[in-house]
Amino acid sequence: MVAYLIRRLVQAVLILIGVSFVTFVLLYLVPADPARQIAGRSATAATVESIREQLGLNLPFYEQYWRYFVNLIQGDFGRSYIQKSQVGELIAARLPPTLLLMAAAICAELVFGLTMGVIAAANRRRIGDNLLMIVSFVGVSAPQFVVGILLLYLFAVKLGWFPIGGYGTAAHIVLPALSLGFLGAGWYSRMMRSSMLDVLEQDYVRTARAKGAGRWRVIVAHAVPNALLPVIAMIGIDIGLFMSGIVVVESVFGWPGIGQLAWQAIQRVDIPVIMGVTVVSATAIVLGNLLADLVAPFIDPRIKLR
Amino acid sequence: MRKTLLSALAGAALAGLAATASWAEEPRMGGTMTVTYKDDVSTLDPAIGYDWQNWSMIKSLFDGLMDYRPGTTELVPDLAEGYEISGDGKTYTFTLRQGVKFHNGREMTADDVKYSLERVIDPKTQSPGAGFFGAIEGFEALNSGEADTLSGVEAVDDHTVRITLSRPDATFLHVMALNFAHVVPKEAVEEWGQDFGKHPVGTGAYSMEEWTLGQRVVFARNEDYYKEGVPRLDKIVFEVGQEPIVALLRLERGETDIAGDGIPPAKFLQVTKDPKYEGMIVEGDQLHTGYVTMNVAMKPFDDVRVRKAVNMAINKDRIVRIINGRAAPANQPLPPLMPGYAEDYEGFPYDPDGAKALLADAGYGDGFETELFVANTDPQPRIAQAIQQDLAEVGIKAQIKALAQANVIAAGGEKDQAPMIWSGGMAWIADFPDPSNFYGPILGCGGAVPGGWNWAWYCNEELDKRAVAADAMVDTARQDERIAEWRDIFVAIQEEAPWAPIFNEKRYTIRSKRLGGPDAIFVDPVHIPVHYDYVYIKEDQ
């Protein structure tokens, strides 16, 4: 177990170094000169040169990366070219709203996905099953910005049940969490359905039925707890899925998280911020996957860590 | 004065009528206004901030020696009570207003003015505006790092500043009104270092109250402000992270007061024709020209006939229709609002046949292939497509290169990258209302350098000399002569056709009905987009 953990942590660090290097290379190749971008349209040559000097843009590529890397492991992400603040500060201010949104989205996708899966399995091959599977199919395939805009239009603009974007109260979180969770709900309902169908064929379910337990008692008390385990193990992997979703959903709903920060930074070619957000989200994804793998054997004893 | 009296009389006369006659109202004090923006507010350091979102915010937090009468381009002293210009036009002596206090309570003195100018020129500050101060004596030494002080600025006593120039500069008073010349207190700058832009301390009408990263910035009234009755509001809340469409919906519901990013181009007709928004939209002009640059250093645009042909091939009226009439067709580099605009000049009329003849004359009877660079945000690619179609009519096959704005700017700054650029979204909007500012950086030899903004790479040394001579006419009695000379310089440039000017964009501010104040301050040509200091909230709304 300990050896496994160490091996996985070393792997994680290597992956993160790789991610930071690849992103750095890609951004290095962007044909915009950061010094001129910071200096603006009326700058003198002396100002541009001074900026280049201070940012180390005159150094060879590998030295620039090394400088970035050494600062990074000390927790220094550099300063935003556009906003001029510490990138670490910008990300730290926006991380709590993003984590909150993700937590809400996980609740939403589990509640909707699992319920749909159970009902579909219980009504296998009947009309309810087919309808729910169509909904889940839409959930899996609809782009998140479309879902977000539709929800916003229907429930905020037309019906006025929720605020039109923003942050602050519990009402603000409902629509973005649903938009973000809709995709996951689609996946979970399919996984839950097939997991339920497996379980419902098991001997102990037949035994329970034979003992005279009612249909819903069998499903809720006997089948669901067992069918749930393999599904729960997937939550860690969701974090990776969410990382791409939050860029879209946060922008649609004006949610002040790191997805919105990333979107702004990309539009304005704010390289240190793009780097910072990439490194932070890569870390979250790697940790999420690691967590999923570590939790799996506790949920399902057949899985062994090696 | 007379105007104030008139409106006061009218106000008394109309007191019994409904409050719809907003022009007759006395500004009311107090209340909170909410302004929304899509992007985070970047720095509020006056030496650094240089975008259309923070420009006016900085003007409300800080002041300079000079400013403009609200809603106009007329220069007036601000932190200065007055000034004197020496006979040779090289020495400016400013008398400072007494008893002006920074938000930290300390009185502003001549030393602060000197410190602020030195700070903006010091290359360590990385100010994008340092170049504006090139006329001050000792600029080179300080900007290159050889000196620590600026020899041309002297604090004669606590309330007198003498600035010596190395050459006469007729635009100098405008330069002193730029944000970059705004006065900052040394102790606060030193306390916060590079984060001064997040903790601004100035003398302005508002002071910083709260900044929650990614969410909002709040300004509060400066109780000690030196102008009587200004500002009108107790607070301004700037909310960020709001998409322009969402911002409009919230404005319509009365949740916010100004949509800072304006009306999204794609929604323009819908919004302006919607009765719900009636009376909420203010239209104004701006010091803006949208143009296509033709790189004179690249074939075939080294031939003036080809450049003229492009000018004649483009149907500007159609392009104005594409953007729903939010502009007026242009025929010269200067916008109509700018002194020196040649009203009687006709430019090159739309004439595809004439364009074909010119191309044939230049040896391109069968046309040629080229590239048109454009920023990739709506409506710029649509405009570029219209230009592309017009050019195709005369045989010029232009391939559209739609890139992120920063990448287009970078390509324009290289001598051999971009044969043609549609300037939309990145076009020059004057820093100050003087024709000189429309020449040097974008059409003069000084801008035709790597990283410069003269994307046509047009450099006419003879015109450069005339430009320098025009800016040396400092004497107020010669201002008409100076402006006439600038007019001639711009007509001469247009005859050489390094640009195809397309249109002069109008500005639209959309604001809630509860806001009061003259329309002009909502489309202020200098405090862009809105002169926050003079906005007030009407009663009973």
Residue carrying the six token digits 């300390």: B106
d(CA A301, CA B216): 50
Contact predicate B159/B98, CB 8 Å:
yes
Percent of residues, chain B, with pLDDT higher than 70: 95
CB contact at 8 A, B398 and B387: yes
Angstrom CA distances, A263 to A166, A255, B240, B441, B448, stand at 16, 12, 14, 31, 33
Query: Would the pLDDT of B23 be above 50?
Result: no
> Is the CB of A46 less than 8 angstroms away from the CB of B144?
yes
Inform me whether the C-beta atom of residue B215 falls under 8 Å from chain A C-beta atoms.
yes
Predicted pLDDT of residue B20: 38
- For residue range A79-110, what is the model confidence (pLDDT) as tens digits? 998 888 999 999 999 999 999 999 999 999 99
- List B residues 101-130 in contact with A (Cβ-Cβ < 8 A): 123-124, 126-130
Indicate if the pLDDT at residue A5 is higher than 90. Answer: no
Helix axes A224-232, A271-299, angle to 10 degrees: 140
**pLDDT, position B24:** 46
Give the H or E element holding residue B502.
strand B499-510
The dotted CATH code for A95-299 is: 1.10.3720.10
Position B540 scores a pLDDT of 55
**Residue B25 DSSP one-character state:** P
Highest mean pLDDT among A263-272, B432-441, B454-463: B454-463
pLDDT at residue B384 tops 60: yes
Residue from B249, B246, B256 nearest B277 by CA: B249
Cβ distance A277 to A264 under 8 Å?
no
Mean pLDDT of B374-379: 90
Is residue B98 within 8 angstroms of chain A, CB to CB? no
B413: contact with A, CB 8 A cutoff = yes
pLDDT band at B120 (very low <50, low <70, confident <90, very high): very high
Which pLDDT does position B459 carry in this prediction? 95
Q: Which residues contact B537 (CB under 8 A, 6 or more apart)?
A: B28, B30, B31, B32, B33, B232, B233, B514, B515, B516
Q: CA-CA distance, A86 to B372, in Å (whole number)?
A: 37
pLDDT of residue A104: 94
Determine the pLDDT at residue A166: 82
pLDDT above 60 (res B6):
no
C-alpha angle B397-B398-B399 in degrees, rounded to nearest 5: 120
Q: Name which of B77, B207, B178 is nearest B526 in CA terms.
A: B178
d(CA B404, CA B380): 11
State residue B9's pLDDT score. 37
B273-313 tens-digit pLDDT: 999 898 899 999 888 999 999 999 998 999 999 999 999 99
**Would you list the DSSP string of A135-169?**
HHHHHHHS-HHHHHHHHIIIIIIIS-SS-SS-SSS
DSSP secondary structure of B278-295? TT-EEEEE-SB-EEEEE-
A85 to B213: CB separation less than 8 angstroms, yes or no: yes
User: Does residue B50 belong to the interface with chain A, where contact is any CB pair within 8 Å?
Assistant: yes
CA distance B247 to chain A (A): 9
Residue A103 has a CB neighbour count (10 Å cut-off) of 12
Contact of A61 with A28, CB cutoff 8 Å: yes
**Residue B432's CB: how many other CB atoms inside 10 A?**
21
Closest among A38, A271, A31 to B418, alpha carbons compared: A31
Q: Could you please report the per-residue DSSP string of B173-196?
A: HHHTTSGGG----HHHHHHHGGGG
- Across the interface, of A85, A256, A269, the residue whose CB is closest to B198 is A85
Nearest C-alpha in B relative to A55: B126
Interchain proximity B407–A31, CB inside 8 Å = yes
CA-based nearest residue to B249, from B20, B510, B529: B510
Residue with tokens 């090394």: A66
pLDDT at B2: 35
* Residues across chain A: 306
* Interface contact flag, A42 B431, Cβ < 8 Å: yes
Tokens of A276: 């910072």
Residue type, B104: N
Q: Are A303 and A297 in contact (CB under 8 A)?
A: yes
Helices then strands (H, E): number in chain A?
Answer: 14, 0
A271-299 and A235-253 helices cross at what angle (nearest 10)?
140
Residue A142's pLDDT is what? 86
Q: Do A157 and B410 touch (CB under 8 A)?
A: no
**Is the model's pLDDT at B5 over the cut of 50?**
no
Please classify residue A92 by burial: count the beta carbons closer than 10 Å to its beta carbon, then call 0-12 exposed, 13-18 middle and 19+ buried.
middle
State how far the Cα of B81 lies from the Cα of A292, in Å rounded to an integer.
69
Residue B13, pLDDT score: 37
Residue B25 pLDDT grade (very low, low, confident, very high; cuts 50, 70, 90): low
Contacts of B42 in chain A (CB under 8 A): 80, 82-84
- Asked if A166's CB is within 8 angstroms of B410's CB, the reply is no
Query: Across residues A267-276, what is the average pLDDT?
Result: 89
Digit-coded pLDDT (tens) for B248-267: 988 988 889 999 999 988 88
Between chains, do A90 and B213 touch, taking CB under 8 Å as contact?
yes
Residue A140 has pLDDT above 60, yes or no: yes
Query: What average pLDDT score do residues B457-478 get?
Result: 92
Mean pLDDT across chain B: 90
Render pLDDT for A111-132 as a digit per residue (tens, 0 to 9): 999 899 989 988 888 888 899 9
Token pair listed for B224 = 């000690």
Tens digit of each residue's pLDDT (9 = 90 or more) over A30-42: 767 788 777 777 7
| pLDDT score at B65 | 97
What's the pLDDT at B154?
A: 96
Nearest-5° Cα angle at A273, B528 to A84: 45
* Nearest chain A Cα distance for residue B11, angstroms: 39
Q: Which residue has the tokens 């729960």?
A: A232
DSSP A64-99: HHHHHHHHHHTT---B-TTT-SBHHHHHHHHHHHHH
What whole-number distance in Å separates Cα of residue B201 and Cα of residue B224?
13
pTM above 0.90, yes or no: no
**B512 to A295, B71, B432, B526: CA distances (angstroms):** 54, 19, 29, 22
pLDDT tens for each residue of B212-225 = 998 999 999 999 99
Q: What is the mean pLDDT of residues B142-161?
A: 94
Choose the mutation target among A27, A33, A84, A153 for the interface with B, i.e. most B CBs under 10 Å.
Answer: A84
Higher pLDDT, residue A145 or B157: B157
Whether pLDDT at B12 is above 50: no
Note the pLDDT of residue A306.
Answer: 61
Provide, as residue numbers in chain B, all residues whose Cβ is less than 8 Å from the Cβ of A85. Answer: 43, 195, 197-198, 213
B54 to chain A: closest CA residue: A83
CA B185 to chain centre: 26
pLDDT value at residue B37: 94
Residues of B in contact with A154 (CB under 8 A): none
Q: How far is CA B73 from the centre of its chain?
A: 11
Give CA–CA dist B116/B516, Å, rounded: 34
Residues of A in contact with B55 (CB under 8 A): none
Helix %, strand %, coil % of chain B (to 5): 35, 20, 45
Side chain identity at B68, as an amino acid letter?
Y
pLDDT beyond 50 at B101: yes
A81 touches chain B (CB under 8 A): no
Chain A residues close to B407, C-beta within 8 Å: 30-32, 269
Which is more confidently placed, B15 or A101? A101
Q: Do A89 and B123 touch (CB under 8 A)?
A: no
Does residue A164 register a pLDDT over 70? yes
Minimal-distance CA residue of chain B relative to A163:
B250
Domain boundaries, chain A: 2-73, 95-299
Q: What is the pLDDT of residue A305?
A: 65
> Which residues 243-302 of chain A have a CB within 8 Å of chain B?
251-252, 254-257, 260-261, 264, 267-269
pLDDT, position B34:
96
User: Chain A residues with CB inside 8 Å of B40's CB?
Assistant: 83, 261, 264
Whether A237 contacts A132, CB under 8 Å: no
Mean pLDDT for the stretch of residues B118-132: 90
Work out the minimum CA distance from B213 to partner chain A, whole angstroms: 6
